[in-house]
Chain A
Amino acid sequence: MRIKQVSIFLENTEGRLDEVLKILAQGNVMLRSVSLADTMEYGVLRMIAEEPEKAKQLLKDAGFAARIDEILAVEVPDAVGSLAKVVAMIHEAGINIGYIYGLSIDGDGAPIAIKTDDNAKAEALLEAAGVKTIGMENL
């Protein structure tokens, strides 16, 4: 299953992240996970929120470039080498991974967010191999 991720373009200026989080807090949006990919000049803030559409709208209204993407949320078994196996399966199927980060939600194993260039194919592949995926309802 896939989950919705809200991401925004963020300039590396003082207090910018603070501003974003305040907007979401005031809008009563519950964040489940965040990941910040940063360069020298700017960053991309990726968020898993309980109400992604509301989060996106709040941020857009505040002038941010915000978007929603579907990403794979995978329940990686809590054992050495499990993540390596998951990544190898995706890689061997010729699917590119854009980025990956850990999700801070409860589950049986270690929940991981994976963005690929073919989420549907990757999902089918992983489920066929018995790897559990997480949907929005599990957040």
Chain B
Amino acid sequence: MIWNEQKECMSRDEIAALQSARLVKVVNRVYHNVEYYRKKMQAVGLEPGDIKGIEDLHKLPFTTYEDLRDTYPFGLAAVPRSELVRAHASSGTTGKPKIAVYTRHDIEIWAECFTRCLSMAGITKEDIIQIGYGYGLFTGGLGAHYGAENLGAMVLPMSTGNTQKLIDMMIDCDVTAIACTPSYLLHVAEDLEKAGLVDKVKLKTAICGAEPWTDEMRDQMESRLHIKAHDIYGLTEMMGPGVACDCEFHKGLHIWEDHFLPEIIDPKTYEQLPAGTDGELVVTNLTKEGMPLIRYRTKDLTSLEYDKCDCGRTMARIQRFKGRTDDMLIIRGVNVFPSQVEAALLTVEGTTPHYMIIVDRIDNNDTLEVQVEVAEDAFTDEIRSLEKLSKTIHDKLKLAIGLNAKIKLVEPNGLDHSDGKTKHFIDKRKLYQ
């Protein structure tokens, strides 16, 4: 089902014309309303008049995580405070989160984008959908919620943390669709199988995102639960989930190019790369009012395809993600940077600055272990004081990254730190193909 055929199936010429007109407008808005952007443009000798269309996109400076950090919390807002109706946040590399702010119109556009994705997955107003993303500062819960309500489906706002209740209600309420992380859905599938309840479930469709996943995981979900599973992409900085989604042909994720202008760059030379070439995905907000970002570097590695899809949509398709250009880990849908872990450990007396993060996926559950060297002078002959140290580390990490980590104390010099730039994490999961 195509929710907004007029937009989703525009000709490439029409898309380019619309994007050019919108790019000119948004560049004018940030130049005149955001001092930070004005200075950034002035620093490279750019005026809004220099940007006449998408062919001039490459002249504009990039926006990075560091820009968000420097302007935290509202320095990139392009409208007066009274026009803003919501803020969301996701993890930053240290301390402060990345914040995104929205006007009422932004929330409507977000709902429209998410609705298009649900519709693409075949979900309609006849469906009953469970939202299994966290509701709160994380964009997943509310983003999916507004999209599903906009579609007219009936929403069960489950949020996270209670799988038993999710399963009970899935069966009792004849739930037909679910939005959650792919690893969580596989975990649910496992619980259903163990309880012998798969046949009692009416689930037809899943729309999964917030972490990268593979075709192998799709095959598993589809065969074990007898459903169709779709991949949805988004990031808080640009809006939240619903920036792109894959259709029934699974030839990449259609990105809503009337609202988001995508490009692929070489992360080393910053040159734009042609269709089909792998590089870093960079996205420009074309319609966002609250905090439009220009050429935001997503750090996600992928490529773009522009040929018309068999589903009839003309919007470009983001190909499978190949990895990241930074060291961000996505654990149970939560973004985690090793630097956050490091900063938290520095506040715990009795540990050394040496640590190792080990991420794995066991029975479709992401596991997080943090190995920490005990400082020589912090070692005592009593187990209880070591247990206390371990608990303190656990609690500090929980505060910093919002996840429960298994803490493993190791001997002084027990971790390899022969090289100052030693990698601080091992990810044993197979997330990228």
Query: A interface vs B, CB < 8 Å?
Result: 5, 7-11, 37, 39, 41-42, 44, 46, 63-65, 67, 69, 98-99, 115
Contact = CB atoms under 8 A, between A and B. Distances in A.
Contacts of B307: none
A91 to B, nearest CB: 17
A122 B381 CA distance: 19
B381 A39 contact: no
Interface residues of B, number: 17
A106 B411 CA distance: 34
Given A67-B380, A69-B381, 13 more contacts: A9-B411, A11-B410, A11-B414, A37-B383, A39-B386, A42-B409, A44-B386, A63-B412, A63-B413, A65-B374, A65-B376, A98-B382, A99-B382
Contact of A9 (B374, B387, B408): B374
Interface string B119-148: 000000000000000000000000000000
B386 A64 contact: no
A70 B134 CA distance: 52
B425 interface: no
A39 B411 contact: no
B379 interface: yes
A63 B411 contact: yes
A44 B383 contact: yes
B411 A67 contact: no
Contacts of B382: 44, 98-99, 115
B119 to A, nearest CB: 49
A98 B388 CA distance: 14
Contacts of A64: 411-412
B31 to A, nearest CB: 56
B411 A65 contact: yes
A44 B409 contact: no
A83 to B, nearest CB: 20
B387 A7 contact: no
Interface string B360-395: 000000000000001010011111101100000000
Interface string B400-420: 000000001111111000000
CB-based closest 7 A-B pairs: A65-B379, A7-B381, A9-B379, A65-B376, A98-B382, A69-B381, A65-B412
B381 A11 contact: no
A19 to B, nearest CB: 11
In this complex, the member of B379, B384, B413 whose beta carbon has the largest number of chain A beta carbons within 10 angstroms is B379
A10 B411 contact: yes
Contacts of A8: 379
Contact of A42 (B376, B380, B386, B413): B386
B410 to A, nearest CB: 6
Interface in B329-381: 374, 376, 379-381
B411 A41 contact: no
A44 B381 contact: yes
A9 B380 CA distance: 8
B379 A115 contact: no
Contacts of B409: 9, 41-42
Nearest to A98: B382
Given A7-B381, A44-B381, A67-B381, A39 B387 contact: yes
A11 B356 CA distance: 15
Nearest to A117: B382
A41 B387 CA distance: 11
Contact of B379 (A11, A41, A63, A67): A67
B408 A39 contact: no
A7 B269 CA distance: 55
A93 B101 CA distance: 62
Nearest to B410: A11
Contacts of B379: 8-9, 65, 67
Contacts of A63: 411-413
A44 B374 CA distance: 13
12 contacts: A7-B381, A8-B379, A9-B374, A9-B379, A9-B386, A37-B383, A39-B386, A41-B408, A44-B383, A63-B412, A65-B376, A67-B379
B391 to A, nearest CB: 12
A47 B413 CA distance: 22
In this complex, the member of A7, A9, A10 whose beta carbon has the largest number of chain B beta carbons within 10 angstroms is A9
In this complex, the member of B380, B387, B413 whose beta carbon has the largest number of chain A beta carbons within 10 angstroms is B380
A8 B381 CA distance: 7
Contacts of B380: 67
Contacts of A10: 411
Contacts of B414: 11
A27 to B, nearest CB: 19
